[in-house]
Copies of this chain bind each other. A is one copy, B any other.
């Protein structure tokens, strides 16, 4: 009991979406699923995957365990679903960002955006941190997570390639490896930014990332 942190997760009051429309079974079921996922994301981020019981998640979504088990095979099952959902979101906003801004040479701004966009909120960061840790231990899970990470890497690698081409600069290393390193860097910095905002406030985080990013791709010119 020493170990369970009483975080007091407030009951999520879900704004009922106008029962004007009477939901079909399918719609209703889908709604339940979504609510369970949303609530689970919040609770897991707050207490951690292992410390979160099925009842916790269901409860915060306004349901009981019955509803949970009728929608998901297990806690892990839901967790993977959650990551997939988040991954799609990240991919989309990343893609969108990279598509939009590829032309500009304003690297600083680009990076800053990139950084803040990369994880919409802290919940998302924590979720992925949890996932990485889980992946270290579970080979099957690791494979699935790696697949997602590599997708993300490829988007970034493609961007890096295009960017360097456009700027008429040589790639300082393999685009794939650079992408991984940048992902790692961003995650790493994000953690410090999150855990010691006094030591590394948003501005400093963006600035240092910007410095390293510039140096890596522009050499000493920026």
Binding site for B on A (CB under 8 A): 2-3, 5, 7, 46-51, 73-77, 122, 126, 129-130, 132-138, 142, 145-146, 149-150, 172-174, 176-178, 180-181, 183-192, 194-196, 199-200, 204, 207-209, 211-212, 215-216, 218-221
User: Which residue of the partner chain, among B5, B133, B136, contacts A138 with CB atoms under 8 Å?
Assistant: B5
Q: A47-B137, A187-B184, A194-B136 are in contact. Are A219 and B215 (CB under 8 A)?
A: yes
Given contacts A51-B50, A75-B2, A219-B220, contact A199 B180 (CB under 8 A): yes
Could you say which residues of chain B place their CB within 8 Å of the CB of A180? Answer: 189, 192, 199-200, 208
> Which 5 pairs from chain A and chain B are nearest by CB?
A184-B188, A219-B220, A50-B50, A2-B74, A188-B188
Majority secondary structure, A binding face: helix
Given contacts A184-B187, A185-B212, 10 further A-B contacts (CB under 8 A): A47-B137, A48-B137, A149-B195, A172-B215, A183-B192, A184-B184, A184-B191, A184-B192, A188-B188, A215-B216
Q: Copy number of this protein in the oligomer?
A: 2
The smallest C-beta distance from A154 to any residue of chain B, in angstroms, reads 11
CA distance A76 to B220 in the complex (A): 46
* 27 A-B contacts (beta carbon < 8 Å): A2-B73, A3-B49, A3-B74, A50-B50, A129-B129, A133-B133, A136-B194, A145-B195, A146-B199, A149-B196, A173-B207, A174-B204, A176-B199, A177-B208, A180-B189, A180-B208, A181-B185, A181-B188, A183-B188, A184-B187, A184-B191, A185-B185, A187-B188, A212-B212, A215-B215, A219-B220, A220-B220
B132 touches A129 (CB 8 A): yes
Query: Given contacts A3-B74, A188-B184, A192-B184, is CB(A136)–CB(B142) below 8 Å?
Result: no
